[in-house]
Structure 1
Amino acid sequence: MTTGRFVRVDGVPLHVVVEGSGPPVVLSAGLAMAWFDWDQVAAPLVAQGRTVVRFDRPGHGLSAPATAPPTAAGEARRIAGLLDALGLAGPVTVAGHSIAGFHAEAFARLYPERTAALVLVDTSIEEDPRTVWPAGVRTGAARVLGRALTAAGLPAALGPLARRATVRASRTGGPDRPLPSAGGPPAARDLVRRVYRSSRVWRGALLENARYRDTAAEVLALRTGRPLAAPVTVLAGYDGTSGRGALRWLARQAELAVRLGARFEVAEPAGHLVMLDRPGLVARVVLDAGQRRA
């Protein structure tokens, strides 16, 4: 497990890890997650001759804070800018987990000539993303709350604990990687402390979450006028239970695949953090998606 380097995109220093050689793959994690959450997916991709790019969005991981509220188009542009800065001109397979699925889909729609394949890993779904409060109000509230939490010292006191609790709640043991009995993340403890004791990460997650429905609405609008030119795979996490919530989530993921004309696959058993529960399967799906374009 390693840290990478910093690349400035749109004025923001982004932390990025680049490994391997061959056709490029971009991996983007969900809300409040970090580059190291893809560690066990990256290794088999590198072994199969891929250039794997993992990066932290502004306010996430080790990247600098965001200078503006996130948008789908803005995050798509960030991926394009990062690829430019790295000198990766060829079509890329872009994989987005959770909310980053919105960003990955926006990239595929806005930059079709640069997209080899799109993989949505237990992606966020909003069929009717309505909001009650104006975006500016929600953004302002997120910033105020972030400052209050920082002033109270909560990130430093509770950040790593909150990370461990969130990961444990979002995972299910699978054959690729049984869930540790202690429920801890696969990342090294010193990296978890370095990232999640920072108030920057808490503020970044609050800001991104505040604009979640706006981002979803933006992606829905792109679907009406920006068709997908690359093959798409929707990979859903399913814990294997008969619970109503689990089955409904699986059905929504399947419905999304139909709407996008995508291949649909299920990771079972797996929680929302599919890349931790079933890293080998995620790697295989990413490889298969890129080969479909080829």
Structure 2
Amino acid sequence: MTTYVRGGFVRGEFVRVGGVPHHVEVTGDGPVCVLGAGLGLGWFDWDPVVPLLAPHRTVVRFDRPGLGLSAHARVAPTLRGEAERILRVLDAVGLGGARATVVGHSLAGFHAEAFARLYPERTEGLVLVDSSVEERPRTLLPRGMRVAATRACGALLCATGLPRAVGPTLRRLTAPTPWAWLYGGSRVWRAALMEYVTYGDAARELAVLRRRLPLPEGAPVTVLAAYAGSGSRRWLDRQRELAHALDAAFRVATPSGHLVMRDRPAEVARAVLTAGPEPRPRPPEPAARCPE
């Protein structure tokens, strides 16, 4: 489905990646940027930011398997798999070969950075929005054991009817959205649980990539941290340290909770626009004619 909005077109569609139907929305016109939402979140969490970017960027949003409107995940996520997913989604919507500014919020910050390191030829810039940070990543149990236990626990949890009973309400309390009903289904809960239990694996994979592969030369990197007040000072310091380690520009969105794209969308849009190429000049809109 394609409709016109100010600044360009929005095209919602489903594409197959690894045999799984992925929900994707492409909005606007210009250089490409791709937005990745955090653990358990969906494409709609970027809604406040997209209108600010669409006049200047081709904005790509998609739901990872099990989240949003995408189909069930077939396998547990890996960091390399998520970086490749970004690449394959861009190719599937007709943006193959295009360089993109890759934006990752929270857990998706791991995915975005991995993409930049693995596919430097496709990276125009990197923006980490209150990204996850793990200075000394570790896991306590073998991955296979954790994945199997999570699948069993997810099935048991969903059989109790708990997601349907409390999921939409919890989502509305976290961040109001008309799509809160999605959190009443078992699919989203299972996907979010699996992302949570494999979080440590992603952090360890990224630590290895950082030692082996540099960030692309000439691609600007920005760390945008949320700051709500003095109580979050330690988190702000960790974000600053991440920016230093990546030789990145450091910005602070304040006052803001973790969902920066909802609390301070203009700050997120500014970080994205300054991390990518200058937009093509748009032709002036025709002046309105007065009635005769």
CA deviation profile, 1:96-143 (whole Å, cap 9, x unmatched): 000000000000000000000000000000111111111111111111
**Cα distance 1:293–1:256, how it changes in 2: closer, same or farther (>3 A)?**
farther
Measure the CA separation in 1 of the matches of 2:278 and 2:28. Answer: 21
1:130-161 Cα distance to aligned partner (Å, 9 max, x none): 11111111111111111011111111111111
Contact 2:26/2:61 (<8 A) preserved:
yes
The aligned counterpart of 1:59 is 66
Q: Alpha carbon RMSD of aligned pairs, Å?
A: 1.7
Cα distance change, pair 83–3 in 1 and its aligned pair in 2 (3 A): closer
Match of residue 224 from structure 2:
235
Q: 2:57 touches 2:279 (CA, 8 Å); kept in 1?
A: no
Report the TM-score, using the length of structure 1 for normalisation.
0.88
Q: Work out the CA distance in 2 between the residues paired with 1:216 and 1:292.
A: 33
Q: Structure 1 unaligned runs (5+)?
A: 168-184
Among candidates 252, 267, 281, match of residue 253 of structure 2: 267
Identity score, percent: 59
2:27 aligned residue: 19
SS at match of 2:47: helix
Aligned residue pair count: 269
Corresponding residue for 1:213?
200
Deviation of the 1:86 alpha carbon: 1.0
Which string of whole-angstrom CA distances, capped at 9 and with x for unpartnered residues, describes residues 13-32 of structure 1? 10111111111110010011
Give the secondary-structure state (helix, strand or coil) at the position aligned to 1:31: coil
After TM superposition, give the deviation of residue 225 of structure 1 in Å: 1.2
1:67 counterpart SS class: coil
Out of 192, 198, 206, which is 2:180 matched to? 192
Q: Quote the residue 2:289 is aligned against.
A: none
- In the alignment, structure 1 residue 79 sits paired with structure 2 residue 86: yes
Instruction: Using the TM superposition, name which of 117-126 and 127-136 deviates more.
Output: 127-136
1:292 Cα deviation after fit: 7.9
Quick check: which one's helix share is greater? 1
Q: How far off its partner does 1:166 sit? A: 3.1
Task: For residue 113 of structure 1, give the secondary structure of its aligned residue in structure 2.
Answer: helix
CA contact (8 A) 1:76 1:106 kept: yes
Structure 1 residue ranges, 4+ long, deviating more than 4 angstroms after superposition? none
Alignment map for 1:148-167 (pairs within 5 Å): 148-167=156-175
TM-score (norm 2): 0.89
Aligned to 1:257: 243
Shift in Å, 1:208: 0.8
8 Å CA contact 1:231–1:292 kept in 2: the answer is no
CA drift of 1:165 comes to 2.9
Q: Pick the structure with greater CA Rg.
A: 2
Greater relative contact order (Cα < 8 A, sep 6+):
1
Return the letter of the residue paired with 2:105: H
Residue 243 of structure 2 aligns to which amino acid in structure 1? A
Q: Aligned partners of 2:238, 2:251: CA distance in 1, in Å?
A: 13
